[in-house]
Structures are given as C-alpha cells and as structure tokens.
Structure 1
C-alpha cells in the first residue's frame, strides 16, 4: 500500500467521512473522527496483545513527525518493550522528596491495606515530616533518622518513638521498591535506639487511685476541661476504645432508650454492637449534648482543626500534662498528680475490665462489654450478644465508679473549651 502524502492528509482531514482510518504502512494510521481533531495512531502487537497508541493530533503533529514517532515506538518493540507500558511509567508523577514518597506510599499501599491509615499518616505528619519531609530521598542519612528519634525520646514518648522507627523503615522500603534509592537509612536502628523494649501494659487503677485522679481533674478543671473529665468517666463505665468514644456522633445515641448503636464502620471488629448505657452515662451524655452546641459529634473539636471531633491525642495529652509531661516543650509543667503512677486513656478501659472481674461479672460478658470477639470454641458456638447481661454489668460498674468520680462542677465550669 502506497504511503500517504502531506497533501492527502490535508485533504482527508478536510473532506473525509467521520470515523475512518487511512494507513501509512507499518501500523501507522491517520484517523478522522466525527467530532474532535484528526489524530495519528500506531497499531502494533506486543506480549500484551494487540494495542493502539495515539501519537498526537493533526495538524499539531505533521505526517513527518508522526512517522518519526512511529519509528521510535517500532524500535522499542524490536527491543522487546511495550511503548504504551513505557509511556505509562513516564507519566507517573516524579517523587523527589520524602513528603512525596509518603504521599505515594499512603495512596498506593496504606490506604488500601490498613483499616486506620490515618495512624501512620499522623505519625509521619507530626514526627517525621518536620525533620526530613523536604529532603531528597537519597539525601536522607541515618543521622537524620537519629534526629527524628531523639526528638521524640526527649519528650518522653517511647511508644511513639518505636512506632515512628517502624514507619520510617517501611517508608524507605517502599522507596527501594520504586527504585528511588538503594539504601534504607533506618535499617540499622532497633527499638533500643527508639523507645526501648516496652514493658507489658497492665496498668489498672485501684478505687483509691480513681478517686485521687479525678479529684485532681476536678481541682484543675479549668485547664483539664469538663469535656475531658466526662470522657474519662465514660471510659471507666463503658470500657470502649478511645476512637469509638472520641469520634462518636449523636445519631448513634438513643438516650431515651439508653442505647448507643456503634456502627461497624467505627468498630475495630468490623461488626456493629449496641452498647447499653447505665443511668450515670446517660446523664453525662445529656450534659455533653448541651455542651456540644448543636454539633453532630459528641466531642466536637474545640479548636481550629481539620478534624470535626476530638483529636486522638487530646485526652492523653491533657492527662500527661497533669503528670508534668508535655511533649515538645523543654520546660515541663508542674506535676499535679504527686506520686500517682502515670496512666493513659487505654488504662481506664483496662480498669473497667478489672472492676468488672472484681464485681463477679462473668468473663464472657465482660469481654463482650469490651467489644472483644470471644476466642476459641466459645467464640464459634456462642453467638449470644449478652445485651441484658451487659446492661447489668455496665450498671454495676457505674454504681461503683460514680461516687469515685462524681465531683459536682462549679457553675462557671459548665461552659468553655477543653
């Protein structure tokens, strides 16, 4: 078949019927379509099958330019490469620094693989990015990794230090997969270089410790915050997870019926659960609803934030501050807790379990109160939800907790932020 001429191409573009192809030989076609500009197309066969690659539009790309581009692609085919596959690689956004590397890791891996990808994202944003985010990937050295870890260690956050090291190792393994670097600058570091081997987490508060801690909360209510106070009360009587309560919405609550319907999307187990509310919790939620001022969230964000609800670190930071610990500050606040051993929000959940056991509540009922899946044979055969048993359990624990935490707030403390 004779090759096309520039004159023919010009004529076809002006007069040819729509949706017609004119061959120039060697798989190169001049294509006219019903709407839009005419274009050049190369048809070829590779290991991926028969394919069509658009080269460019006419008249922006002339006949001579189309032939030249076609020749380049034919050469790629002779070398065993697929031109469209090469083009796809070339259109991938260039990853130059650590911030861009994390964005790619988050989009292509974390957001697909993890149920809560916001956790590593938060660690990267707060701990890693301020130190190495703007650095070119190959410029990151082990000394930079050490700087990140030392900043966290100085603020006395061993768990965060260990998590940060883990995420840095994974992040630079992702860079190696993308052929962006040959080395992982975090590879040689161990937990000893970060937060150290963490002891078994078995902190539970005694009744005396609960009363003392909440008396300190009450004394410093202006700085600690009434919302934080009520949240800690609720953790003790409900035993729920931190995110389940801090991100709760009013549409999940039926305070008249005394039930909180936790949806599967917010449950760690991926299964919805109805949580019976003791009368004390209902009263606390009623107060929180007034304090929420129409927000759809039980604990709305009190400061400008990208989150509409209480942040994941808010409560633990508020508690730690009373213990004389404030991450990121050289001058630490005074210790208001005296000799009381430090505790976290999760320790309040663990304390609920301890109280339940001490009050004679059956283990399987207490485990369902914590929204744990029952293990082994019991988990397979026992599908009972124990709702009524859980209602009694929560009320029993709440009756014990109430006099330990029930410090009436002064009138001026009913409003204001956390």
Structure 2
C-alpha cells in the first residue's frame, strides 16, 4: 500500500515555493504544482479505468486547500463509481457548448425566420412590414430573451400596450410572433406550447379584436350612381383617370392595375392574366376583358422603354395615391378600392348571377369545398357575360346626373 503523504496545513501550503510537485496530503494523490514562474495549481494523480490520469482542480490560491481536497474526494468517488472524471467534465463542457449554440434570442430568431420565409412573401413590401412590426413592438421588449424562455407573460407585455389603441397592428403582431416562435419550435430551439397562439390561450386574457375595433369599410359609391360617375370620369384626361376607369371596368384592385404590364394581356383571348405575386391570394387571376376595357387599352399610348400599361411620367409605375387623387379632385365620397364594393352590390341587387361568379371576379378565395370544386374552370364563360354586363351598365345613358354625389357637379 502506498505511503500516505503528510497532511499539510494551509500555512504550510502557502510557504511552498520550490518548483515541482508537492504532495499536500489529506487525499491520496493530491498535489500542488509550482511552476518556475511561480504560478501554482492543484493536481490530482489517480488511476481511472486502468489508465493513469492527472486531473486539474484549479489554481491556487483561488481554489483553497480545503476546496482542493473536497474536489479531489469528489473525483475519487466518481472513479469508485466507474466514472472517469476527465471524460465526465469534457462531456459536460460539450453539452454546455451545444446548449449555447442551440439557444437563440428572439431577435436572432426573427432574423433567421425572415431569411427563411422571405421567398414566400408576395412582395418585398410585405417582408418589410413583418420586419418593421416586430422590430418596433416586439424586439425592444423581448428581443434579448432566449426563445425557449419566452412565455405567456412576455407575449402579453408586448401586445397589451397597443391592443386597444392599435388593434389591427397588434393582431398582426401577435400572428407574427406566433409564426417566429413556431419556427423556433420546429427548429428545435424551444419546446412546448406556443404562448402567442390565440385559440385557447390569448383569447382568455385579451379582448377579442372584433369587440374593440369597428370594421373599416372603404367609402364606396352606391351602384345606382355609378353610371353618372363614369360619365364624368371619362371627361377627364390623364393616365390616372384611365387607370381608375380600367380598375372599375375590371373590378380589380388599384395595385393590380397600377403595376399591370403589357405582356399580361392577351388581346386575342380577351383576357388579362395577373401573376400570383401581385395578387392578395398569391394565386394567378384571370380577368375577362369587356369591349370597353379592350377599347380603353388599345387607345392608350405606349411609353417608350417601359412595359407598364399605366406608366408614370418617367416610365415607372404610378404611385399608390394616383387613383385616389382622381376621386379627390372629383370631390366624390368614394375611394378606388370602394368601387369593388359598388360592383359587388350591383351584382347582388341588379343581376341574377350566382354569388360564386362575382366572388371569383373579385378574386376572393372561397373556403367552401363545394364552391371550390364548382369553380375549377374559374367560371370564365359566366364571368365574361358578367363583366360585359357590368361594362354596359357603367356606360349606360344617364338621364338624371343630379343623382351623383359629386360636390360642385350639376
């Protein structure tokens, strides 16, 4: 049996200055290593798994004699249980590094999520809106938090300050936080329920958006007054006036019209095919063109070097306020988007077309399976008839122009 070293006191250990390995006793194999430089550290020499091992226990005097003996006893107990202390320490260190690598802050998760999902957004503006909303409201409060630590209280702290004052923004923000945290869960950066989900969760602690915010309806012209409006609109010159007229004839959104390019139109088939990236639904939409719509397009001058149908002065697309400016100048109580409501009201009140036909004309996505199956051919024959009747109505003879709600127009 090896001879046990004399158990040194703390004062005796302090006086050890000669370079070399000094046994300090108290625990078999415990040494104080003194370097030529004067640096001193603790070392435990043992046999583990049939191999000689030297285990570092820390520097002296940061680790005291008493602490060194405690660490040495713990290491020897591990060996007695069949555990190699060096391998155990390395495994713990590896696990810690892996956990640190896995842990993402919410700010980092937002960046990674947007980088992954950017291709799915309909346009760069949509991606920017996501980023801006999260950076403005969420990141200042929870950006530095690891995503695996974000809980219901954190999400509420983000949403509650704007939930009633900016309900629509807050509702979108909630959905975006939920999407980021869902991505983090799938990417193994967090586990458990999503604290930003609405159903069965936030719905119990926040008032429903529909209860605190009135639905915003775009000002629209009554369908009975549309023919009079069109009569006045056609008297106005300018690309914006023609773009608004075309938007009304096609029941299209102003953005779809402003960004329309000549290669989207087939004059032989009398169809305008709007690509999915410009549609709210994200799907390609075909618009049957009535005779007045076709005549309007054919009469338009082409801007040299530009493919836009309704090009601005320098050949680029018109601004999103161009069409609105026309209605303002005409002093009519309606906005361009409101004419889609006018179209829908006319379809319901003055025609016998099924609701599915006008819904498809407006590019509204149906969630009903029966309607979806019925609309596989996009009801193009019926929609052609509908859009021609609508164009005929828009150009019908006005016998009582005084009915038009345009201030200053008699």
TM-score of the two chains, using structure 1 as the length reference: 0.50
Is this contact kept in 1: 2:274–2:285, CA < 8 A?
Answer: yes
Task: State the SS of the aligned residue for 1:251.
Answer: helix
Q: Does 1:366 align with 2:358?
A: yes
Residues 251-294 of structure 1 deviation map (CA, whole Å, 9 limit, x = unaligned) = 11123442212344444455544322112111222344x25433
CA–CA distance in structure 2, aligned partners of residues 130 and 302 of structure 1: 35
Aligned to 1:118: 125
Aligned equivalents of 1:209 and 1:80: distance in 2? Answer: 75
Partner of 2:258: 246
Mapped partners of 1:248, 1:191: distance in 2: 38
Closer/same/farther in 2, CA of residues 169 and 199 from structure 1, 3 Å limit: closer
In structure 2, what is the equivalent of residue 201 of structure 1? Answer: 217
What aligned pairs does 1:179-194 form with structure 2 within 5 A after superposition? none
User: Does 1:314 pair with 2:321?
Assistant: yes
* SS of alignment partner, residue 337 of structure 2: helix
Maintained 8 Å contact 1:162/1:191: no
Q: Over the residues paired in the alignment, what is the CA RMSD in angstroms? A: 5.2
Larger Rg: 2
Question: 1 CA distance for matches of 2:336 and 2:87?
Answer: 61
Q: Distance in 2 between matches of 1:128 and 1:404?
A: 52
Could you tell me the TM-score, scaled by structure 2's length? 0.50
Which stretches in structure 1 are left out of the alignment for 5+ residues?
Answer: 1-71, 154-160, 324-335, 406-418
Compared CA separation, residues 382 and 78, structure 1 to 2 (3 A): closer
What are the residue-to-residue correspondences of 1:29-68 with 2, within 5 Å? Answer: none
The gaps in structure 2 that reach 5 residues or longer are 1-85, 145-155, 197-201, 399-410
Instruction: Quickly say closer, same or farther: Cα 1:263–1:107, change in 2 above 3 A.
Output: same
| Partner-residue secondary structure (3-state), 1:81 | helix
What is the aligned residue count? 287
Distance in 2 (alpha carbons) for counterparts of 1:309 and 1:136: 39
Q: Distance in 2 between matches of 1:216 and 1:73?
A: 86
Q: How far, CA to CA, are the matches of 1:401 and 1:287 in structure 2?
A: 18
Picking from 253, 270, 281, the partner of 2:293 is 281
Deviations 1:36-74 (A, max 9, x none): xxxxxxxxxxxxxxxxxxxxxxxxxxxxxxxxxxxx999
Aligned to 1:385: 378
Aligned mates of 1:190, 1:297 — CA distance in 2:
45
Distance 1:213 1:102 in 2: 47
Q: Distance in 2 between matches of 1:264 and 1:172?
A: 26
Q: 1:104 to 1:196 in 2, by over 3 A?
A: farther
CA contact (8 A) 2:106 2:139 kept: no
Q: What secondary structure does 1:345 align onto?
A: coil
